[in-house]
């Protein structure tokens, strides 16, 4: 990513295509939109292009918030940059510690050699004065090695504290890279990793699992009527409600925009449909009210698509089936659940 070494003619043609698309969608050519559509024109990241297309075709369209989220996920991700910085700092610190230990080791080796020479010289000495002079030299060397040892100990103690701090920063950066800051849920990056782990487990021991994609109905209308701050509160409400109504090892992930993914390990198709219906009903029976003003926002509904893992699945194909179910639920009137059976089930 960020490799834009094209010649003048290529760059000019890509620029023309980008401006035409932005104009057609009535989007400003700011740096975020421009970079996203430049990358889209290059067609080198299918996942990025799918997220852009899904946002364009979604209820809210490609808002600047969604564009920023896609940009951060695919092109920038500041948490990944922080993680990379912490990793490089940690490696540099460890290399310095190793060099300090090597230097200290060399000093001890030289000191051991000095002691050996001292023993030989004492053995050959014939006068007390010679022995006293040799002893004075060894005492000076001993004091020097003591000072070096204390300095090395201090440096290693300090390095140990820095390493511990950097490890904590690195772990925090890794968590942040996979966490949605608005809802506190895992984000799209965390979802792909989790799905691949579950698919690997399924291929090894046939441990079935299912995916639900849930989308808030008419979310654009909510944003337009009450503003994005209220929209953010509704996203957090839905996230909390979904989390409160799953069990055990089930996971909720913010898939993007107003869309959520729920992973159900050890669950078969019929069970996943039941869970999706329970989640739909829980949201549909909730009444929303603004805490600050007491204003009644009315009801809220979600549409859900369900898919379960199959032998030939990748994370992309499994999500695509769940998304097909979600789109069908929307097309059939919203506030409903549609499951897409695995290909092996359909074939029977």
Residue 81 burial (CB count, 10 A): 12
258 counts as catalytic: yes
How many Cα atoms occupy the beta-carbon half-sphere of 251 within 13 Å?
Answer: 23
Q: How far apart are CA 123 and CA 12, in angstroms?
A: 87
Q: How far apart are CA 159 and CA 101, in angstroms?
A: 12
**Contact criterion met (CB below 8 Å) for 249 and 210:** no
**Contact criterion met (CB below 8 Å) for 284 and 245:** no
State the helix-helix crossing angle for 78-124 and 128-177, rounded to 10 degrees.
Answer: 170
Catalytic residue among 39, 69, 151, 258: 258
- DSSP reduced 3-state for 138: helix
Cα–chain center distance at 196? 14
Find residue 304's DSSP bridge partners: 214, 337
- Positions annotated as catalytic residues are 258
């Amino acid at each position: 990513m960020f490799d834009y070494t094209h010649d003048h003619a290529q760059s000019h043609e890509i620029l023309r295509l980008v401006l035409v698309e932005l104009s057609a969608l009535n989007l400003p050519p700011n740096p975020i939109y421009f970079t996203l559509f430049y990358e889209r024109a290059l067609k080198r990241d299918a996942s990025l292009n799918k997220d852009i297309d899904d946002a364009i075709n979604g209820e809210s369209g490609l808002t600047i918030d969604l564009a920023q989220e896609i940009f951060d996920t695919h092109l920038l991700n500041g948490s990944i940059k922080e993680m990379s910085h912490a990793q490089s700092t940690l490696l540099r610190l460890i290399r310095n510690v190793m060099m300090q230990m090597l230097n200290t080791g060399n000093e001890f080796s030289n000191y051991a050699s000095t002691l050996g020479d001292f023993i030989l010289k004492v053995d050959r000495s014939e006068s007390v004065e010679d022995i006293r002079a040799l002893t004075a030299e060894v005492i000076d060397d001993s004091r020097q090695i003591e000072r070096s040892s204390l300095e090395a100990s201090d440096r290693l103690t300090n390095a140990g504290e820095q390493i511990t701090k950097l490890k904590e920063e690195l772990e925090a950066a890794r968590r942040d890279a996979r966490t949605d800051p608005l809802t506190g849920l895992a984000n799209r990056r965390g979802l792909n990793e989790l799905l691949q782990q579950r698919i690997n487990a399924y291929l090894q021991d046939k441990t079935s699992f299912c995916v639900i994609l849930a989308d808030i109905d008419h979310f654009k209308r909510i944003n337009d009527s009450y503003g994005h701050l209220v929209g953010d509160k509704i996203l957090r409400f839905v996230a909390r409600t979904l989390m409160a109504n799953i069990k055990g090892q089930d996971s909720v992930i913010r898939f993007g925009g107003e869309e959520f993914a729920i992973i159900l390990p050890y669950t078969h198709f019929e069970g996943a449909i039941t869970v999706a219906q329970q989640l739909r009903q829980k949201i549909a029976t909730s009444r929303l009210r603004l805490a600050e003003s007491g204003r009644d926002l009315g009801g809220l509904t979600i549409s859900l698509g369900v898919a379960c893992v199959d032998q030939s699945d990748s994370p992309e194909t499994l999500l695509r089936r769940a998304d097909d179910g979600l789109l069908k639920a929307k097309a059939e009137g919203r506030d409903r659940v549609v499951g897409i059976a695995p290909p092996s089930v359909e074939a029977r």
